[in-house]
């Protein structure tokens, strides 16, 4: 059974940093791209970062580029999101998600973690 378990969230002040972790099990973690997706309270979903299976490429949404860093440790089956210079608008539930693809062309998210809440407030 595929499981993704996030941790590391909490209440922080604007301008501070936080590092989220996502431990994966039930699949060959080192073979799949992984994503972070967030959802502000009562809002929709926003994709924020992608890391290739081998860390060779990383992509970010403009809203977090230069402040957030995605990384992974395949030996530990763990995905990370380092968040710096946090703002109130970063307040959200953060989900890690496993990537799947259809026809080698269309990418989607076939498994999601339960999410971890990050609140940025003074």
Complex with other proteins: residue 75 or 102, whichever CB lies closer: 102
Minimum Å gap between C-beta 70 and other proteins is 14
Minimum Å gap between C-beta 102 and other proteins is 4
Instruction: List residues near other proteins by CB under 8 A.
Output: 44-47, 59, 61-62, 95, 100, 102-103, 105-115
DSSP letter string, the chain = --EEEEE--EEE-TT--EEEEEEEESS-GGGS-EEEEEE-TTS-EEEEEEE-TTSS-EEE-TTTTTTEEEEEETTTTEEEEEE-S--GGG-EEEEEEEEEEETTTEEEEEEE---EEEEE--
Minimum Å gap between C-beta 95 and other proteins is 6
Complex with other proteins: residue 77 or 115, whichever CB lies closer: 115
């Amino acid at each position: 059974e595929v499981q993704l378990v996030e941790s590391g969230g909490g209440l922080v002040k604007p301008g501070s940093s936080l590092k989220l972790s996502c431990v994966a099990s039930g699949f060959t973690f080192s073979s799949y791209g992984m994503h972070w997706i967030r959802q502000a309270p009562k809002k929709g979903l926003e994709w924020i970062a992608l890391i290739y299976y081998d860390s060779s490429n990383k992509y970010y949404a403009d809203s977090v580029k230069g402040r957030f860093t995605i990384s992974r440790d395949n030996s530990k089956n763990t995905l990370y999101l380092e968040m710096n210079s946090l703002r109130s608008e970063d307040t959200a539930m953060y989900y890690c998600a496993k990537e799947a693809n259809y026809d080698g062309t269309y990418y989607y998210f076939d498994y999601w973690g339960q999410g971890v809440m990050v609140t940025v407030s003074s």
